[in-house]
Chain A
Amino acid sequence: MALLEVKDLEVSYGVIQALKGISFEVNEGEIVTLIGANGAGKTTTMQSVIGLIPKNGGSVTYDGQDITKMPCHKIVHFGMSQVPEGRRIFQELTVYENLMMGAYSIKNNDSFKEDLEKVYKRFPRLAERSGQIAGTLSGGEQQMLAMGRALMSRPKLLMLDEPSMGLSPLLVDEVFDIIKDINKDGTTILLVEQNAGKSLAISDRAYVLETGSIVLSGTGAELAASEEVKKAYLGV
């Protein structure tokens, strides 16, 4: 059974239909990527799945539960976590306080220290800068913090929305390595990316989103080899 199952999901902003009934699934242990151009509906998909914006139709099932109508703060409690587009870390809080907010959904958190150690081990820069105000971090460090924050809730499914955006090529490689690594440690990944080449290379499966509809799907390797994807997204 799929960990996340999205069926005929529709989302509209006023009269504009941003998602025209898309269906996809993410199985436990996989890395699944949605690729697509600007305005294809990638971020809308991410935000509506986790309940940040309302859905107009369709259903979302997570871990066997219907979460279609559940508000975001409740969904998060079930072990779904998201690194939002543009990182959106809490600029005025310190690095440590940001990570603490990441663990907010776990009440009576006995393993907070342990989780913090793990995040610091994965992102040594964050450990060095734990007392620093997050707004003063560099773009790359802020991305690490956003990922670390999302991991503090011990998610079963980690969703990342454009984690490579605005980063230098060197950092982009590092981010993709880290995503692979997080997946290897047992976290299922749903990734949204414009960087189709890099994301398809690490994906088990992928979907191509075009103006609110899924037009192609397959394994990462299949899509990377497909003529249409090559032309439209890989620039070859």
Chain B
Amino acid sequence: MEFIETLINGLSIGSTYAMIALGYTMVYGIAKMLNFAHGDVIMVGGYMIYVGLTVTGNPIISFIAAVLSSIILGITIEKIAYKPLRGASPLAVLITAIGVSYLLQSSAQMIFGSAPKMVTIADLGSINFSGLTIPVYVLVTLICSFVIMTALTLFVKYTRTGRAMIAVSEDKGAAQLMGINVNKIIMITFAIGSGLAAFAGLFMLMKSPSLSNTLGAMPGIKAFTAAVIGGIGSIPGAMLGGILMGVVEAISLKIQAIAPYTDAIEFLILIIILLVRPTGILGKKRREKV
């Protein structure tokens, strides 16, 4: 019974990672850049929930406000920081992303101070189900992520915009020849990624109410690792990698002897998988054709 509880907990941690990893992987696939400020969008979303709760007291309104402001933030970052660097060297873009990350963290610290805020969204309690005790927030996380990931998969596969995203990720020039506005597709990608980050922020605060300006740092790195494990650029890869990381984390935390080394174990998995499959589990080997 305890094992099943651990597994379910792992799935919920994993779906939080998956939500973040999707942002990394989609932006990488389409804009060909690593957006290291992505984790910090989660943190900003978290503070927006905090502000919303303080002002309105209504968790749902606060959350919607957080999603919307995260989307606007993502689009703004792309417009101001990354778009002028289109075509610049990848190193310049990477350093800019790290700069944006510090800018967001420091701004949050200046505005909200460095002491963690307690954000109690709602006490949902837990339910008993044939001998299993499962916190309700875990179920909420699982159901929400499942619905969102399914919707995203269908969106990419079956809508005009989704197919345009695939086309841009494969060949920007050819996509333009089809009449696709590449800048618009990149903007939409940032919007989706940032919206998902706000969901991840909500899941994290439901799990543990402590909010500081580094909320997104470690989960951001872990989700990035998950995206690489799954195969960066691959949407199902990000989901799989995220879930894998979460389950490993939950199991490792339950075993006393290795619990303190949980983070190390997760990154060790990355190294092992990259040794066996350098493109990640579902990453494609791109054949370069002359």
If A73-B182, A86-B289, A104-B160 touch, whether A52 touches B177 (CB-CB below 8 Å) is yes
A90 near B170 with CB under 8 A, answer: yes
A90 near B177 with CB under 8 A, answer: no
In the complex, what residues of B have CB within 8 A of residue A135's CB?
287
- Give the Cβ gap from B68 to chain A, nearest Cβ, in Å: 27
Interface string of B167-206 (1 = CB under 8 A from A): 1001101111111111000000000000000000000000
B171 near A73 with CB under 8 A, answer: no
Residue B284 interfacial (CB < 8 Å):
yes
In the complex, what residues of B have CB within 8 A of residue A150's CB?
177
Residue A17 interfacial (CB < 8 Å):
no
In the complex, what residues of A have CB within 8 A of residue B160's CB?
104
Measured CA separation A52–B173 after assembly (Å)? 7
Interface string of A67-82 (1 = CB under 8 A from B): 0000111001100011
Q: Residue on B with the closest CB to A100?
A: B163
**Residues of chain A at interface, number, CB under 8 A:** 29
If A86-B289, A92-B284, A97-B163 touch, whether A104 touches B179 (CB-CB below 8 Å) is yes
Q: Residue on A with the closest CB to B174?
A: A88
Interface string of B13-37 (1 = CB under 8 A from A): 0000000000000000000000000
Residue B166 interfacial (CB < 8 Å):
yes
A104 near B170 with CB under 8 A, answer: no
If A86-B289, A97-B163 touch, whether A102 touches B178 (CB-CB below 8 Å) is yes
If A76-B178, A92-B284 touch, whether A101 touches B173 (CB-CB below 8 Å) is no
Q: Residue on B with the closest CB to A135?
A: B287
In the complex, what residues of B have CB within 8 A of residue A149's CB?
178
If A97-B163, A100-B163, A104-B160 touch, whether A90 touches B179 (CB-CB below 8 Å) is no
If A92-B284, A104-B180 touch, whether A84 touches B174 (CB-CB below 8 Å) is yes
Measured CA separation A9–B88 after assembly (Å)? 25
Q: Residue on B with the closest CB to A106?
A: B179
In the complex, what residues of A have CB within 8 A of residue B182's CB?
73
Name A92's contact: one of B166, B179, B180, B290 (CB within 8 Å). B166
Measured CA separation A226–B178 after assembly (Å)? 38
In the complex, what residues of A have CB within 8 A of residue B171's CB?
88, 90
Work out how many contacts link A and B, with CB atoms closer than 8 A. 68
Residue B97 interfacial (CB < 8 Å):
no
Residue B164 interfacial (CB < 8 Å):
yes
If A88-B171, A91-B170, A92-B170 touch, whether A76 touches B163 (CB-CB below 8 Å) is no
B177 near A76 with CB under 8 A, answer: yes
Name B173's contact: one of A77, A84, A89, A97 (CB within 8 Å). A84
- Give the Cβ gap from B240 to chain A, nearest Cβ, in Å: 18
Q: Can you report 26 A-B residue pairs in the complex whose CB atoms are below 8 A from each other?
A: A47-B173, A50-B177, A51-B176, A52-B173, A71-B176, A71-B181, A73-B176, A73-B179, A73-B180, A76-B176, A82-B177, A88-B173, A90-B167, A90-B171, A92-B166, A92-B170, A93-B163, A93-B166, A93-B167, A100-B163, A101-B163, A101-B167, A101-B178, A104-B160, A104-B167, A153-B179
Q: Which 10 pairs between the two chains have the least Cβ-Cβ distance?
A: A105-B179, A76-B179, A88-B174, A72-B176, A104-B178, A73-B181, A101-B178, A73-B179, A90-B170, A104-B179
Q: Other than the known A92-B166, A93-B163, A93-B167, what 13 A-B pairs have Cβ atoms closer than 8 Å? A: A47-B173, A50-B177, A52-B173, A72-B176, A90-B170, A101-B164, A101-B167, A101-B175, A104-B163, A104-B178, A104-B180, A135-B287, A150-B177
